[in-house]
Chains A and B, each alone.
Chain A
Amino acid sequence: MESSELSQTVEIKASSKVKNGRVPTGIEGFDTLIEGGIPRGYLVLVAGTAGSGKTIFAAQYLYHGLSRFNEPGIYVSFAETRKIFLKNMERMGMDFEKYEQNGKFKFLDLVTVKDKGVESIVESILREVSSLHAKRLVLDSFTALAQAFTEGIDARIVMHTILGRTAHLGEVTTLLISEKPLGNKWLGGGMEEFVADGVVTLNYRTEKGWMKRVLQVLKLRGTNVNTVEYSYSIDGHGIRIWPEPEVKRVEKVFTRKVSTGIMGLDSMLHDGVFESSVTMMAGAAGTGKTTAALRFITEGAEHNERGLYVTTEEPQQQLVEYGEGFGFNMKQLIDKGLIKTIYCTPESSNVEQQLLEIKSRLWQYKPSRFIIDSLAPFEHAMNRERYVLHLKSLVSFLKAEGVTSLFLVLGEPVLSITRTGISTLADNIIFLRHVEIESVLRRSLVITKARGSVHDNDIREFEITPKGIIVKGKFVGMEQILGGSPRKSVTEEAAETWAKAFGGKT
């Protein structure tokens, strides 16, 4: 079975070429934010809270120089020992020891030499830079170094006269790490940010109760930077910056209709939905959304159209069993490579990252049909603006690639789509709803939107049978079904009373 979890690496290529005297950091997604890299010889302050990934950021920068450009580098640590550093970085796939042995890398462990005095420390750093012909330098951290100064002015002197000058003259590009206590509005000691050529902050932000890592380039001299906050993640491959969702301009026009796999629904939509259209199907739990989605994707697969099913509600195996239960031959179609399922749990990690990863999977797999079952966890984990922006980006991507999609939306039909403002993104909107009539729970279906196509306006009843969904006729003689309080129509009630008056049992 071809299926996978959203934890694998997605290739977002880091820059590997030096452009216009810039030094690429090699951090995925970062160099594109700063015109390809840090201008050579600059001093950039990387400030962040504890656990924000400052050391990894700096290590990736050094390692990229070593591995891609053969640029010697020095890591000066006032906080972490060499052994721990090498071990931690090896876990991220960065083998510094190899470069240390061939004389390209040097780890200066100054954790225990802080009491030697500022001049001595600075001298030793400059000596190493000179002897190694280092092009990249990391000081981790300036906050720890500054603690060795008895006077605050000493730190400024070091920044200006020694480090700054050395860096510029020797064309050594330096990352200066600064610790930013949580809740502190200053970056480190409060003056590094003014002296440095560039400032990058790594922070946490709480969004809807979830911690989110955000990176911001506050300044970088000689570079056009966008100061918006970018989401980033740290995984087994280091730091990865997630780009802002891009809304593509869709030029293609599709006129072919494709079947949803549900005969009655196709008939209501006048031969199905348009290819590359986006359909939103909203309904409460148990209304049959997943059953409809399974049929939609297997219908495509039966006609050799590949389908990608992203499930956020239930594990893949469970989904496959559901499909098999309805006789949809899910297993066979998955084995043939015509259907791929992804189990995505937005609650467990960066939700925006997961949406971007889904896009990446779409790019790789190139399906004809795509399903998200359901959007609810994404909606819950993101603020409204970000949610709509990501969906817009995804929808434009799907349309540009010609993928026919079905998004399942959990909740009360009308509100669940209109309250978030996503209804305009959909080409087709289908509402499913439970209806209680005479102590029997029945299911209703109505199409409220079918862009560019005529559609049936009836509120139809449907049943979930062992063979899937069967759409029946409309609810005759009932009104207020969509409002949630169905009742008999005036004529129907009159007919009932009339029948009783003349003896009939209704």
Chain B
Amino acid sequence: MASSRSVKILGLAPFAVLVTAMAILYVLDIHTAFEPPLLTPILYTVVFVICCVVSYISTKSYLRSGNLCLSLLSSGTLLLGISALISGWGIYLVGVNASVTVHNIGVLFSACVHFGSAILTYGWPSYHGALPFSLRNRAIMAWVGVIAFMVFLAVVSFQGLLPQFFLQGIGPTPLRQWVLGTAIALFILSAIVFMEIHFKTKSNVLYWYSLALALFGLGFFGVFLIKTVGCLLGWAGRGAQFAGGSYLLVAVLTTVRGSHTKEDKTGVAETLRRKK
């Protein structure tokens, strides 16, 4: 199962493969775009579905525990999923710049929320917040807020109301690089924080979730370097994101009956409390 030591080590292999591929493709600097009809939208839709599953589980967990980390996690994965969905179909239907703009801004917000969740999990694993609403209302507000924000972002971007992010064949604008660069940094930092917690608690959920965030960070780094959307380097970046989506799914599967370990059942809060 996904919890065994050998499988965990095997889970690191995609990093080596993808980093190597990206390095080679960056050096080769091939600008030819490969966009087979509907392939990108379908693949991003799969990522969107996985992100929704993770967001749903996180929301259910939040309703059980009231832990704010989980609400942030839910919002973060939902932002990531919707960004992927709009981006995937946007390239096909609207154009490169608009879809890159929506995607990169969505990813930045997702990174921020994930980082907040990681910090809360690390520092205050049972932080509940103090909002004057019931858990259910808070969860609904979070979902509605994320969806409304992404729809708003899509509308203003598709209307050309936002600054330029990407010029096909020329490359990204400095603004886009700041936005995406910040997102990458926050994803990587979040992955590190979650991995650190995993080392302390031995939670398999956190292990796979941490690797998933790292793969997303790597994937975004791949697209950070491209000058043409759909080039081979871009596909390596997309591949890392799809791998990240798969790892999110693995993280969810480790929680399913019969798969979770004793450490998963004990919980981070309890384990960290015992270690102190």
Taking Cβ atoms with an 8 Å cutoff, the residues of A that contact B are: 490-506
Contact = CB atoms under 8 A, between A and B. Distances in A.
B256 A490 contact: yes
Nearest to B266: A500
A501 B60 contact: no
Contact of A500 (B57, B66, B127, B268): B268
State the main secondary structure of chain B at its contact with A: helix
Interface stretch (B67-75, B83-91, B139-147, B221-229): B67-75
B121 interface: yes
Interface of B: 57-58, 60-67, 69-70, 73, 117, 120-121, 124-127, 201, 203, 205-206, 209, 252, 254-257, 260, 264-270, 272
B69 A503 contact: yes
B64 A496 contact: yes
Given A497-B254, A504-B267, 20 more contacts: A490-B257, A491-B57, A494-B60, A494-B257, A495-B57, A497-B265, A498-B57, A498-B70, A498-B255, A499-B65, A500-B269, A501-B201, A501-B205, A502-B117, A502-B121, A502-B125, A503-B267, A503-B268, A504-B69, A505-B126
14 contacts: A490-B256, A494-B57, A495-B57, A495-B61, A497-B254, A498-B70, A498-B205, A499-B67, A502-B70, A502-B125, A502-B205, A503-B272, A504-B267, A505-B126
Contacts of B203: 501
A130 B205 CA distance: 109
Contact of B205 (A493, A497, A504, A506): A497
Contacts of B127: 503
Contacts of B264: 497, 500-501
Contacts of B64: 495-496, 499, 504, 506
B58 A504 contact: no
B255 A503 contact: no
Nearest to A500: B267
A437 to B, nearest CB: 14
Contacts of A505: 65, 67, 126, 267, 269-270
A494 B56 CA distance: 11
Contacts of B120: 503
B203 to A, nearest CB: 5
Nearest to A494: B255
Contacts of B65: 499, 504-506
Contacts of A504: 61-62, 64-67, 69-70, 125-126, 267, 269
B61 A502 contact: yes
B267 A493 contact: no
A336 to B, nearest CB: 46
Contacts of A496: 61, 64
A495 B256 contact: no
Report the 8 A-B pairs with minimum CB-CB distance, sorted nearest first: A504-B65, A503-B125, A500-B267, A504-B67, A499-B61, A501-B205, A495-B60, A497-B255
A414 to B, nearest CB: 26
A421 B256 CA distance: 41
B235 to A, nearest CB: 32
A491 B267 CA distance: 17
Contacts of B257: 490, 493-494
A185 B65 CA distance: 78
Contacts of B268: 500-503
A499 B117 CA distance: 12
B195 to A, nearest CB: 13
Given A495-B60, A496-B61, A496-B64, A501 B255 contact: yes
A500 B265 contact: yes
A281 B167 CA distance: 72
A303 to B, nearest CB: 38
A501 B206 contact: yes
A369 B73 CA distance: 56
A330 to B, nearest CB: 40
Nearest to A501: B205
A469 B161 CA distance: 60
B271 to A, nearest CB: 9
Contacts of B206: 501-502
A497 B73 CA distance: 15
Contacts of A499: 61-62, 64-65, 67, 70, 267
